Amino acid sequence: MTLARDLVAIYMRRDAPGRPDLAVAVAGALCVGGPLLLGVLTGRASTGAGVALGAWLVFYCVPKGDLRTRTKTLLAFSLWNLAAALLGTLMAGNLWATASTLVVLVLATRVARVGIIPAFLFVLTGMHPEPGSWQHLLLIVMGTVWGIGLKLAFRLGRDTAGAMPGATPESMPGSAKAAGTNAAREADSVKDRVRSLLGRGPEQRFTWRLALCFTAVYVAAELSGLPHAAWFITGMATTLRPTWGQSTPRIVKRLTGTVIGSALAAVVLLVAHGRPLGVLVPVVALFAAAAWTLRPLNYGFWPVFSAPVMLLLLDFSTTVGWQDAAERSLDNTVGAVIAALATLLLWPGREENQLPDRLGNLMRTHARYLERAATVAESRGPVELLHTRPAAEAAEADLAAARDRLAQQYRPDRRLLAALDDVLAATARLRTHVYTHHPLRAGHPGPDDAPLRPVPLRNCARELRTTASLIDGDEANDPALTREELPAYAATVLAAHERTVRELHERALFDTTDTVVRHTVRALARTS
């Protein structure tokens, strides 16, 4: 019962706050309902389904910003889709060439940040080629135009914030100068993302894991000759995430929603059996509206309504029965299992191996910060701490991000996480005690301000450097600590020095108060 409650809690957990958007609902209904209705009325139901599928794919793109930015984003996304569909049509039937191209395409879409839809469309158009493939491609183009028109007509994703205070004409999003600056920034960003493919961070591991799984599942599905093989890929690609902690909620939501949605589709098809196809049009439109409206709020509701839509769009003019719905659920389950195994086995995160470097960097940056604070306290000169404070904060943020990734791993070490929490809390308090005191906070010290004492600050800095060397295993007199001992040891050291700095801070405040009292007593004595 506990497991069942946990699964229900995961499934019902919202992904984002907010309320359903009526504009999204209406646009989503017209997205598929319009082409389907036109196709049924003209006696070309399969043609209408092909156009609706193209518009459906466009709705996966969620552009933000002003009209120009949204139009540019939609066009770029659509060009990726159409190029992938064209490439898949040209390479249909050539398994190994398609597989090699698929690896490159997945990597390219990750660099361009356009999602997995182009890769899925490439596979969909290339699997089991049939006569009339070029006609299907033309239908996708028509649907793309329809989808873009709906997105822009309903102003979905528009920027409602307005101009920022103090904005100049040159800085507005539509200006030529801003466009040039954004283009240069985007070019540099793309170059950085291409170079980052060779890195070993969580996102890089996820990119290569996705490319390998996408291609391997495609090849296995093609060699096996199983029907509806694209659904294996759908189940894998929609549940695979960078970490185990991110993948498991997605798997629960996807599988639960798919089972419910497939059962719902089977019921609808059973009721509509023997009736004109036009009866299904309002049902599909209603499902599409619910799917796109609820997707941002809770991904678990998305497959409940999108599964019937996809079942009907892919086979609208043929007979789809409960067997197809059951196969879709089973294929998605297999794909989700593949995603879970890939997360655990293919280049799993090894954040523990990098903890010594991160802890050592944290100690060294805070040692430099204390040394600089001591220098300022001695000279009572400028309050600028150069780059020492941002460097210390960046080291803390880096460790905090690593701690969050550790928490997302399969069966995380709770004691390790608690020790890292202690480290992060101690460093934050340490900087607070230093920075909130004269002459380190904003403003210049007054004649009665008592600064922090520099000698104890330097002693603390020296001890932090010694600790960093010990963490790195560079101390000759002390054996290197084991990896499991490092966070707890670092937390103990930092807590001790945080108490020292806090006492210095409190003593400085006492000295300042005492000086003010003595000056007040003297002034009263002179006036009397």
Tens digits of per-residue pLDDT, 160-182?
443 333 333 333 334 334 444 45
Q: Does residue 404 sit in the same domain as residue 305?
A: no
pTM for this model (two decimals): 0.73
Query: Which range is most confident: 105-109, 271-275, 318-322?
Result: 105-109
Average pLDDT over residues 413-419: 86
> Same domain for 416 and 288?
no
Q: Alpha-carbon distance 309 to 56, whole Å?
A: 10
Domain-embedded: residue 188: no
In a domain, 210, yes or no: yes
- According to the model, what pLDDT value does residue 397 have? 92
Q: How far apart are CA 405 and CA 501, in angstroms?
A: 31
- 131 pLDDT above the threshold of 80: no
Q: Which one of 301, 326, 345 terminates a domain? A: 345
pLDDT winner (highest mean) among 33-37, 164-168, 171-175, 430-434: 33-37
Q: What is the DSSP string of 244-260?
A: HHHHHHHHHHHHHHHHH
Check pLDDT > 60 for residue 262.
yes
pLDDT class of 528 with cuts at 50, 70, 90: very low
Last-in-domain residue among 345, 376, 391 = 345
Assigned domain for 57 exists: yes
Residue 14 lies in a domain: no
Residues 321 and 440 in one domain: no
Paired strand residues for 158: 65
Q: Tell whether the model's pLDDT for residue 249 goes beyond 70.
A: yes
Q: Which of 345, 380, 402 is the last residue of a domain?
A: 345
50 lies in the same domain as 119: yes
Same domain for 101 and 233, yes or no, is: yes
pLDDT recorded at residue 524: 40
Distances (CA, A) of 392 to 302, 385, 401, 421, 429: 42, 11, 14, 16, 12
% of the chain beyond a pLDDT of 70: 77
What's the pLDDT at 322? Answer: 67
The predicted structure's pLDDT at residue 124:
84
Structure tokens at 252: 């629960």
**Claim to verify: residue 396 and residue 501 sit in the same structural domain:** yes
Q: What angle do CA 80, 86, 90 make, to 5 degrees?
A: 145
Q: Is residue 333 part of a domain?
A: yes
Same-domain status, 339 and 357: no
Same domain, 398 and 379: yes
Q: Is residue 457 part of a domain?
A: yes
- The whole-number pLDDT of residue 167 equals 34
Whether residues 106 and 238 share a domain: the answer is yes
* Separation CA 144–CA 146 (nearest Å): 5
Residue-wise pLDDT tens digits, 85-95: 999 888 888 88
Residues 74 and 143 occupy one common structural domain: yes
Q: Is 84 exposed, middle or buried (0-12, 13-18, 19+ CB in 10 A)?
A: buried
Q: Which residues pair with 65 in a beta bridge?
A: 158
Judgement on whether residues 361 and 442 belong to the same structural domain of the protein:
yes
Same domain, 395 and 287: no
pLDDT tens-place string over residues 321-362? 667 777 778 888 899 999 999 988 887 767 777 888 888 888
Predicted local confidence at residue 165, as pLDDT: 33
Residue 184 domain flag: no
Contact 288/32 with Cβ under 8 angstroms? yes
Dist CA 4 CA 1 (whole Å): 5
Domain range for 31: 20-172+195-345
- Give the count of domains, the chain: 2
In a domain, 73, yes or no: yes
Phi then psi for 380, rounded to 5 degrees? 50, 40
pLDDT tens digits for 365-402? 988 888 888 887 776 555 545 567 888 899 999 999 88
